[in-house]
Amino acid sequence: MIESFGERSPLNINIKKYLKSGDLNALHSLIEVGGECIDAISSSFDQESSRQAKLRIIRLAKEIRTPASSDLLVRAFNSKSKDVWHAALEGLAYQQNGDILDRLEKLLLQTKAGGVPDKSAYLLDLINTASEWRTRKDDSMS
């Protein structure tokens, strides 16, 4: 956790509560904090050994639509755990940020180069979905 917030700060208390138990009140409080919260949990993601806590971090990052949360989800995609990388991709697709298609296509190129067929197939599906989403959005703006 980020030390500048202090070990006993409300932010750190809510992060610990949420990561440990999935407390929904803590989750909603963290979502309200927004980007500051992502900064605080981002460093915890790589150090976290609990798959469940990693999935909770991804769920939180999914709900906070910032470049930092998208970056965290991209990092989470590199996990060897299928549950974790799958949740990370779902989070990226859920965010529907303007650069989602570019991010997914870059991840696909990296994944193909690394020879991970499960990830490649899932990414292709998400890219098709993101393309359809972008087309509908562009059509509605014309």
Ordered by where they begin, the domains of the chain are: 3-141 (1.25.10)
Tens digits of per-residue pLDDT, 76-126? 998 889 999 999 999 988 887 767 778 888 888 888 777 777 888 888 888
Cβ neighbors of 78 (< 8 A, separation 6 or more) are 85
Q: For residue 9, give the H/E element and its range.
A: none
- Please determine, for residue 36, whether its predicted confidence score (pLDDT) is greater than 80: yes
Rounded distance, CA 3 to CA 136, Å?
44
Average pLDDT over residues 43-59: 91
Residues near 88 by beta carbon (within 8 Å), at least 6 away in sequence = 58, 73, 74, 75, 76, 77, 79
Whether 74 and 85 have beta carbons less than 8 Å apart is answered as no
pLDDT mean over 53-59: 96
Q: Where is 73: in which H helix or E strand?
A: helix 67-77
Direct distance between the N- and C-terminal alpha carbons of the chain, in angstroms, rounded to an integer: 45
Per the listing, tokens 């409300």 go with: 10
Q: What is the mean pLDDT of residues 15-44?
A: 91
pTM as predicted: 0.81
Question: Per-residue confidence at 138, pLDDT binned at 50, 70, 90?
Answer: low
